[in-house]
Amino acid sequence: MVNLPPIKPSRLLWTLLFLGALLVLVNGTVIYAIQTAHHFLDEELGKRFEATAHTAALLIRSDQLDALFPVGADSLRADFDVAMDSVEAAETVRDQWRRLAGGAGASNIILLDPDHQVVLALRQSTSSNVSRATLDEAAFARAMIGEAAHSRLFEEGDTYLKAGYAPVIQYDGRIVGAVVVEGGSSAFRPLEQVKASLYGAAFLASILVVLVGLGYVRTQARLARVEERMNHADLLATVGQVAAGVAHEIRNPLAVLRGASSRLQKLEHLSAGERKELLAMLEEEVHRMGNVVQNFLDLSRRPDTEATIFVLRPVLERSMEIINVELSRCGVRSAVRWEAEDGVCIRGRPQAMHHLFLNLALNARDAMPEGGELTILVQARKSELRIYFQDSGPGVPRTIRSRIFEPFFTTRAEGTGLGLAFVERIVLEHGGTISVGASPSGGAQFRIILPIET
């Protein structure tokens, strides 16, 4: 099995958060759409039956209400007359309700008294027991206080039932009962079918998102490994270029060593001054070759430690404390202007940043052989940290700024051209950028931009 390199925790976390948010969005959208459509149909059906119930209540005249809600009679004939008036009023109201129900799509219209007893029903088969769709206590109570209302939605078979309630008001303002309009709607049935389809689609989309997420994580792991190999291949290509430069740089010291050694073979013919001069020459050239080899190793070496999150200010201050002795010896005055938070952190290797600061400081020293000023300015801009190394030397001509970080490119006869290439590699390892320009004093300015870790 191929061992895949680990993905950065932050990248994996954001990926999982994105996939989770996508799942919630897909399923939440489906559920919200279904519930919204269901609520809309429910409210529209309820309002329609409320309006129908209100119309049905207005169709009952006051004299018909007196007949339907008799107070009582004193004789048999009076009872008979009251009963006949009640039957006549019921038939008249029922005929009007029948026409209303046909146009409103209602299945039944019922008149209830305050005790929930059926006084009049459009369908003659309706018993005195009220169905659960009709008898909604909350809606009936609202109707008895003069407000139109509708019941909850009930499902019976393939039909959804609903009832609208409206108060029946006598001429003197009394509420004598409530009209209930029952009806059903098959409009919810397609919604149920759509709901099943949408839930199925959401489930399949969830599976797809999970599969895409797993594929993404695996792809990122493989890409990380490919990126690592490509970076190493680029490094090897650079090393090949550097090796040619190393051979060129070492050839001259070797020629000097060869000449000096041949002269030392005639030691008895040399004076003490000549021997001292030859030995000093040997030491200088050996030291020069050692510097070339060390810079070459620094440039080609892979990072040997894991990146960590660390506070940058102590590293910079320690580096400048070490190098200030050398800078003072050469007449270079240095100052650090820290304009960011003291605890600002970056991700990387403290030792590498230490070498970076030393190299830039030494580069400034070499640019000012007669002495000068070196200012290190540190500023924070949103999510990035900017570090400026500004000297008062002659500066870097525009014509060579694009080549200043190339290995073995140098404008000094004694330079190796590896220091700034090493600096650029460290900056890139830390996910940053480096550029060269002019400082406010006219010298060189190296600007480093690094991402801040929060």
Between CA 132 and CA 147 the distance in angstroms is 20
| Structural domain includes residue 32 | yes
| Structural domain includes residue 395 | yes
User: Domain boundary at 186, 206, 241, which?
Assistant: 186
Interval 177-205 mean pLDDT: 71
Name the domain count of the chain. 2
What is the predicted pLDDT for the residue at 434? Answer: 94
Structure pTM? Answer: 0.42
Per-residue pLDDT reduced to its tens digit, 353-411: 988 998 899 889 988 989 999 999 999 988 899 999 999 999 999 888 888 888 777 77
Domain that holds residue 182: 9-186
pLDDT tier for residue 9 given thresholds of 50, 70 and 90 = low
Per-residue pLDDT reduced to its tens digit, 233-254: 776 666 666 666 566 556 656 6
| Structural domain includes residue 244 | no
- Co-location of 314 and 445 in the same domain: yes
User: Domain boundary at 134, 167, 186, which?
Assistant: 186
Between CA 375 and CA 445 the distance in angstroms is 9
CATH number, residue 141: 3.30.450.20
User: Domain boundary at 141, 171, 186, which?
Assistant: 186
| Structural domain includes residue 238 | no
Residue 409 or 302, more confident: 409
